[in-house]
Amino acid sequence: MPRIEIFEGMRVRYDERGPKDGRALVLAHGFGVSLEMWTPQMAALSAEYRLITWDARGHGGSSALEDSETYTMPALAADLRAILEKLDAVDGAVVGGMSFGGQIALQYAVDYTEGIHALILSDSTTRGPTPPDTIFRPSEDSPGAVGSMYAMRTRPDLTPDLPNLKIPTLVIVGDHDEMILSGLDRLIDGLPHRRVVRLANCFHGTSGQRPTAWNTAVLEFLEDVDEEGALGEDIVR
């Protein structure tokens, strides 16, 4: 699988498939996993889109910087920007992610709004007004795990920025996801142009639990965005 150097000492493993002239659809994985978490999505989403997935710093086959304080959410969003610049995939991209990856995607949308075609936030929400005391303990004390925990714990609260995001946004959440549901309203109430899809009988990790429903939600949303259809409905599947 290819790797690119986005700055000195930082090499990123990525996967790219689908039509080269298709619209870029970029997905960021969750904490502690790798781009392979998107395997159930790859065939369905790459049929029409230029699907790009990658390992965030400290994950999978990408570099793991030693200093945990270099792992910030703005830095992870800047990594994504550098990847898309290297791949000539910035303009008109659909940017999305799950959980930790959704945090990266939202930070990217706030920091690099111009040129984003649509945003997909799965199993994720904003931090809220106070930083969490704990997230969860990683199974190992590797630099990547510790650094990514630091990024999640210290991420800025982007709730005040949401009304300024005019990007069409898809929010996907499991109807039993106790990690997300308590903070869901502040996300969906703040986004001015969004669709919410609630996946029945799902906990955290909807894309893996019900991949067909997840893929359908994404493809239908993007079709409606392209056709300038209505997005405000709250859908249960």
- Whether the full predicted model's pTM is greater than 0.75, yes or no, is yes
Is 127 in contact with 158 (CB distance < 8 Å)? Answer: yes
Dihedrals phi, psi of 214, to nearest 5 degrees? -65, -50
Residues in the chain, pLDDT under 50: none
What is residue 133's predicted lDDT score, i.e. its pLDDT? 62
Q: What angle do CA 31, 87, 205 make, to 5 degrees?
A: 25
What is residue 134's predicted lDDT score, i.e. its pLDDT? 55
Sorted by where each starts, the structural domains of the chain and their CATH numbers stand as 3-236 (3.40.50.1820)
Q: Which residues pair with 164 in a beta bridge?
A: none
Chain segment 42-53, per-residue pLDDT in tens: 999 999 999 999
DSSP codes of every residue in 5-58: EEETTEEEEEEEES-TTSPEEEEE--TT--GGGGHHHHHHHHTTSEEEEEPPTT
